[in-house]
Structure 1
Amino acid sequence: MRRAVIMLTAFLACVMLSFGIGATSAWAEGEALQGTLKNGDAPVAGVKIKAFTQDGAPVGEAASDAQGKWSIPVPGPGTYRVDLDQTSLPAGVTLTNNRPSLTPQVADGQARNVLFPLGGAGGATGQNQPNAPKAPSELDRYADLLYSGLHFALIIALAALGVSLIFGTTGLTNFAHGELVTFGALITFLFNVTIGLPLVLSGLIAVVIGGLLGYTQDRAFWGWLRRRRTNMVTTMIISIGLSLAVRYIFLYFFGGETRAFAQYNGQPGHQYGPFLIAPKNLVCDVIAIVAIVAVSWALLGTRLGKATRAVADNPALAAASGINVDRIIRLVWTIGGALAALAGVLLGTYQNVGYQMGFQILLLVFAAVTLGGFGTAWGALVGSLVIGLFVQLSTLWIPSELKTVGALAVLIVILLFRPQGILGRRTRIG
């Protein structure tokens, strides 16, 4: 009976996948730059915004409407320069941070929010504003890319830590882990935007549900495959199919467009030396660091952590010494699901919510885990820092469209000289 249920599920997944492939191009929206201009709570209309590529080629222009909203479609993912024409500002309104030119990065399928904070000018008029926006200096550009690389690396590290723990205890390379990241963001969107709860509370609920989902799927699915001694290659292929099926379920219910949370999606940045950082990003950084340090400390300094490391080293010997291996593995799945959901919450705060946001970073997550050393918690963090920083800083020398390819090239080069990864241990085969 159970075999028949599995075959039926696989058949339905294939049918959904067939419909999903045809629907993706029809439902998914393209990339864009957008924003809302407000002076306090009052929208500012008629302000001209222009967008350019990194090479200075014009992409498009727009003017804010009666609600202060503007949007410029862009040809694809990459880094763009967005200029606000200060001469078009109404009398008495100025740009409070004195940065009329920004260089946001647009991810695949993302409508990136760009914020120009406005305020009263103390009687100054639009005619007294500079005639052309001041282009960001090279120092500003380096600082923005450095911080965005660190911020992105911490998000990748949360997901990579879960992948590393699951692989270390079960040997499974879980290609459906990206969907756990997306799940966390979508659950947060459900409670925050649809139901109307605060974003912080919605995020906490999503992390708890993500942990419960990790526990449930191992108890009901992966654990059953493990007891049947399904080989790792077959299990990995099953995870790929599960990833595809779940992704198109997300597409069916959520749609192909990217959406923002109800709070903190247009927060002005504060200047910290050369760094322009939104307070929400600093809070997200602290949350990610606390979560990573807490999990790493638990692995090293608690009895459950020691039991987890024993299961990772030798499951048979751990079972012989009285450790409940299945219970430890379910605990690891719970932690991995919660960390993935937390990564989804932070990623949604950083670049909005989309049905394939987890899939888009999955390759970088695997690269970080491989680079740091499979099965090591600190290795996942170190690998994530290398990948995150290289992905962002490489756009100084290569087109943004190739930044992921460049990160994978670095991965290949490093593994040629250190196959076990930066913090991994050599293992003898045969």
Structure 2
Amino acid sequence: MRNFRLLVPLLAVLFVALAPGTAAAQGDEVVTGPGFGARALQALLDGVQFGAIIAITAVGLSLVFGTTHLINFAHGELVTIGAVVAFFLNISAGLHLVVAALIAVLIGALVGAILQLGLWAPLRRRGVGMINMFIVTIGLSLLLRHVILIFFGTRPQSYREYDIQRAIDLGPVGITPRDLTIVLISVGLLVGVALMLQKTRIGTAIRALSSNRDLAEASGIDVNRVVLVVWTLGGGLAAIGGVFFGLTEIITWDMGFRLLLLMFAGIILGGLGTAYGAMVGSFVVGIVAQMSSLWFPIDLQNAWALLALILVLLIRPQGILGQRERVG
């Protein structure tokens, strides 16, 4: 886990080098109407929405790391697959976005299961080391991203429904029905994952495997089955997160890659290997990113979120909900 934290600066450099100017394209506006308090509340609400999207995509990535210790650099492409599949079903096939999103979730879950059965499980059986598998995830990420580029193209797109809506006024803040629905569904899914981990047998097995793989296997837990469930769940959550991200922003061929560093930040900030930590850390990252736009250019919002990550780790190296590691 300590090696995972050391990768954060490297990942940041990779993102800056490979994807310059990846912040959402939004024009700077001179706010003359609402006061600072109203703008702060609006930024807080936007941060909760952004954090919910990061959390719904980061939970699967955190569960995969917790059960397999694999740093999956290709997880962002699962997010893009969900958004792109829903787009083609919505625009080309003429399906309503709700139906298209449900099918995209199923396809995302299927892709996660196929990756586990066809790639990661065979590599594990052959004793491939974690560093080597991490390099494979980078190659898989590049492959999937450019396959998506071939079919989708470079032109940003948007869904047919829920594109332009009038905001609902909630006192000093406003939120569209679309964004409110995204927040409610995301929070509901996160609560559902938490209940699954606490109240079901498969959830108990996932937590046991995350704590001690050898002990879980000795206790009779089918490790391969649990890992398959985790990959399937992670793929489905990434896909629905991609649909939500495409609704609030735009659909692009590299949208998951742009969100990936914030997923890593949320997971590390909350505490490695814990799904609850990924949820809490993602909300913190989303809120900090949006609140920073009150004082600084919006192009720097991701940088301030990563600065918050560094400051928290200086005070609490194990993250918000992580447990301190014993050295020696």
TM over 0.5: yes
Contact 2:54 2:262 in 1 (8 A): yes
Q: Deviations over 1:259-312 (max 9, x none)?
A: 110100111111111111100111111110111111111111111111111111
Q: Residue 77 of structure 1 contacts residue 400 of structure 1 at CA under 8 Å; is this kept in 2?
A: no
- Deviation sequence 1:213-241 (CA, Å, 0-9, x none): 11111000011111112111111111011
Whole-angstrom distance in 2 between the partners of 1:286 and 1:76: 23
Q: CA deviation at 1:178?
A: 0.4
Structure 1 segment 26-425 matched on structure 2, within 5 A: 77-81=25-29, 135-425=33-323
Q: What code does the residue aligned with 2:259 have?
A: I
3-state SS, counterpart of residue 380 of structure 1? helix
Task: Report what 2:9 is aligned to.
Answer: none
Write the letter of the residue equivalent to 1:286: L
2:238 alignment partner AA: A
Distance 2:255 2:208 in 1: 34
More strand by share: 1
CA contact (8 A) 1:215 1:334 kept: yes
2:8 matched to which residue of 1?
none
Q: Is the 8 A contact 1:176 1:239 kept in 2?
A: yes
Deviation at 1:189, TM superposition (A): 0.3
Return the alpha-carbon distance in structure 1 between the equivalents of residues 310 and 115 of structure 2: 33
Q: For residues 114-164 of structure 1, give each alpha carbon's deviation from its aligned partner in whole angstroms, at most 9, with x where no partner exists.
A: xxxxxxxxxxxxxxxxxxxx7344344223211111100000001111111
SS of the counterpart of 1:172?
coil
After superposition, give the CA deviation of every residue in 1:164-191 in whole Å (9 maximum; x if it has no partner). 1000000001010000000100010011
Runs of 5+ consecutive residues of structure 2 not aligned to the other structure = 1-17
- Which residue of the partner structure matches residue 59 of structure 1? none
Structure 1 distance, partners of 2:42, 2:296, is 17
Q: Secondary structure at the match of 1:354?
A: coil
* 2-structure distance, mates of 1:392, 1:338: 26
- The alpha-carbon deviation at position 428 of structure 1 amounts to 2.1
More relative contact order, 1 or 2 (CA 8 Å, 6+ apart):
2
C-alpha distance in structure 2 between counterparts of 1:277 and 1:76, whole Å: 19
Paired residue type of 1:324: D
Q: Which amino acid aligns with 2:257?
A: F
Deviation at 1:426, TM superposition (A): 1.6
CA distance in 2, matches of 1:314, 1:229: 19
What is the count of residue pairs matched by the alignment?
311
Matches of 1:311 and 1:408, distance apart in 2 = 30
Equivalent position amino acid for 1:195 in 2 = A
Distance 1:354 1:261, change over 3 A: same
1:298-336 CA-to-partner distances (Å, cap 9, x unmatched) read 111111111111111121221122111000000000000
Aligned to 1:81, what secondary structure does the other structure show? coil
Change (3 A) 1:79 1:387: farther
Report the CA distance between 1:249 and its aligned residue.
1.3
TM-score with structure 1 setting the length: 0.69
1:348 is matched by which residue type in structure 2? G
Cα distance in 2 between the residues matched to 1:260 and 1:136: 29
Alpha-carbon distance, 1:76 to partner? 8.4
Identify the structure with the greater helix proportion.
2
Contact 2:24–2:249 (Cα < 8 Å) also in 1: no
Higher gyration radius (CA): 1
Partner secondary structure for residue 28 of structure 2: strand
Equivalent position amino acid for 1:308 in 2: I
- Aligned residues of 1:149 and 1:390 also touching (Cα < 8 A): yes
Contact in 2 for aligned 1:391/1:406 (Cα 8 Å): yes
The CA distance in 1 between the partners of 2:54 and 2:27, in whole Å, is 20
> Over the residues paired in the alignment, what is the CA RMSD in angstroms?
2.0
Deviation at 1:78, TM superposition (A): 4.8
